[in-house]
A and B are shown apart, each in its own frame.
Chain A
Amino acid sequence: MSNIIKLEHVKKQYDDGFVALKDINITIESGKFYSLLGPSGSGKTTILRIIAGFSEPTEGRVLFDGQDITHLDASKRQLNTVFQNYALFPHMNVYDNVAFGLQLKKKEKNEIKKAVKDALHMVQLDGFANREIAELSGGQQQRVAIARALVNEPKVLLLDESLSALDKRLRKDMQFELREIQKKLGITFIFVTHDQEEALAMSDEIFVLNEGKIQQSGSPVDIYDEPVNDFVARFIGDSNILNGRMVKDFEVEFGNHTFECADAGIKPGERVEVVLRPEDLDITSVDKGKLHVRVESQLFLGDHFEIKAIDTDENEWLIHSTNSTKVGKEVGLYFDPEDIHVMRFGESEAEFDKRLESYEGGD
């Protein structure tokens, strides 16, 4: 697949000295669904605004289809944006909103009419053309905003926290629909969100951002299973993170026990952090478990139980289980060697990938 957008060493510093982005390098391939995921203030929206052309980077270049568009006006870029608050024009009806871009391009009237009709059909708003914006629900406004952007046939669609104002159920529906639309049109979507579940559910690829830096990029499965540092581990899903020490390749020590693991390439004796996902922990009898814990609390969350337990060394463990247990009960915890994920302090994504290759390459 060909690259459509490339950010090279992009840095953004605001007038007040605040550095929003520190050396961002991103390559976006055409036809994929990307997410920029991070907490508020991480710089994800700044990246989107730089790609859209609402903001210029202090340093670095933005390439679109191989062309340098760093200083190109937003109105001349072949991409469109769905805004967080939708930014629909309140003094126009649905039809005029969707037709706005095409009318500016001086397209023929019949052509515009047909394109608007098709766009409204795609977002399931047939027959809404003559409604006023104020008469629409949040979900409908969202759809109009998507139609208004897509009707211009952009090569890339940017979505800025576009689902965050919707209620949970509607959000799930829209996630599914957006993914369908993206597959159908085959264009690139870049989706900004702080909701890790949303990013995991929709994306081909995720960029995890924090403090103006890309922490990790990769497929949802990669990022979930192999977080590169404790920020990513904490931000994506729940996790148990413990301090540990590498004993040798494929053996790590934490909680005063030594466990077999799947990580290597770290020198023996190095202090590391160990991640165990709550759903990878199984509750079993004390003698079958690798760890001995006492159940402290249990919450029923509908599709699973969230259990908190404390081991003999006073470490707290978060466990997700489909079966209930009893508060105060002494139980064993079992997990497989692959469930242990070892993270080195200060290891960058590139270093991490290199190390992974060094011992998995021989497989």
Chain B
Amino acid sequence: MKRIKWSRLYIALVLIILYIPIFYLVYYSFSSGQNMDRFGHFTWVHYQELLADSRLLAIFLETILLALLSSLVATLIGTLGAIAVSQIKNKKIKQLLLTLNNVLMVSPDVIIGASFLIFFTALGIGLGFGSVLLSHIAFSIPIVVLMVLPRLNEFDYSLVDAARDLGASNWQVFSKIMLPGITPGILSGFFMALTYSLDDFAVTFFVTGNGFTTLSVEIYSRARQGINLEINALSTIMFILVMIIVIGYYFISSRSGKKGGRLL
């Protein structure tokens, strides 16, 4: 009994330490005054400022648009790539491709960002929304491949034979049998790509130009001039948004679990 209590205490402590900075941020978003030295009194003023700050809101929307677009395209390319990799019979080539995929996952963002910058300038591609989108798609593809591949490896290929036996064309086999089978992997790949894109700073910082910036880059440049509590308000909103998405995803996946693997 006692041991269980200690372990619970430990987990609670870890969680508290991890969440304290976030709650600290959230707490001061309601404080009057211009810095986080001292809590003034409760106020919505920073939220009102945020709503009035059309530049920040535009960046916020653009960031989300960028994340959605890049993760959609990356999911499409990554899923097709994973299918291609899973069909390779030669084990050495398969392993080589997977290793190349994983190297992209683990190499530092700075190096990836710098290489994209060199690449784009060498090709004469202007820096801006397009270059950021391309690089986000590029670094999201390996994540999607990694999330979809296990599903494909688990996939029971006798189902493909069964569908063909019942008269399904190649496209029908893919759309009616294979796709539903790997959908959970595709969805988690998409969500992972989404969070990677939302959260990326280093790569974006390299490849973004004058006209375009994402939230993380904007927050960084504002923070260099001293923290503005408007950022706290924005962070709070984003934190709550992410919480809602996570809870929603949890409910969707637990419901699909009950229905015997049927998703959505």
Interface, chain A (partner B; CB < 8 A): 52-54, 73-76, 80-81, 83-85, 87-91, 100-101, 104-105, 132-135, 148-149, 152
Contacts and interface: CB of A to CB of B under 8 A. Distances in A.
B161 interface: yes
A73 B162 CA distance: 13
A91 B161 contact: no
28 contacts: A52-B165, A53-B164, A73-B164, A74-B165, A75-B165, A80-B165, A80-B166, A81-B165, A84-B158, A85-B158, A87-B156, A89-B159, A89-B163, A90-B181, A90-B261, A91-B263, A100-B166, A100-B176, A101-B166, A101-B167, A104-B166, A104-B168, A132-B260, A133-B260, A134-B261, A135-B260, A149-B166, A152-B167
Contact of B168 (A75, A85, A133): A75
Contacts of A91: 180-181, 261-263
Most chain B CB within a 10 A radius of its CB, from A53, A100, A105: A100
Pairs of residues from A and B, 3 with the lowest C-beta to C-beta distance, nearest first: A134-B260, A101-B166, A87-B162
B158 A83 contact: yes
Interface in B135-160: 156, 158-159
B263 A81 contact: no
Interface of B: 156, 158-159, 161-169, 172, 176-177, 180-181, 259-263
A132 B259 CA distance: 8
B259 A74 contact: no
Nearest to A136: B260
A83 B163 CA distance: 11
Secondary structure at the B interface, as helix, strand, loop or mixed, is helix
B263 A89 contact: no
A292 B164 CA distance: 61
Contacts of A81: 161-162, 165
Contacts of B163: 89, 100
B261 A87 contact: no
Contacts of B172: 104
Nearest to A101: B166
Contacts of B262: 90-91, 132
Contacts of B180: 91
A232 to B, nearest CB: 30
A83 B157 CA distance: 12
Contacts of A105: 167
A293 B125 CA distance: 96
B31 to A, nearest CB: 51
Contacts of A73: 164
A152 B166 contact: yes
Contacts of B165: 52-54, 74-75, 80-81, 149
A129 B263 CA distance: 19
A165 B15 CA distance: 48
A314 B176 CA distance: 65
Contacts of A88: 162
Contacts of B161: 52, 54, 74, 81, 83, 87
B156 A75 contact: no
B96 to A, nearest CB: 20
B210 to A, nearest CB: 49
A3 B65 CA distance: 64
B105 to A, nearest CB: 29
Nearest to B260: A134
A75 B164 CA distance: 5
Contacts of A84: 158
Contacts of A54: 161, 164-165
A332 B163 CA distance: 60
B245 to A, nearest CB: 24
A148 B168 CA distance: 14
Nearest to B157: A87
A90 B263 CA distance: 11
A148 B166 contact: yes
A91 B156 CA distance: 12
A209 B254 CA distance: 49
A153 to B, nearest CB: 12
A298 to B, nearest CB: 45
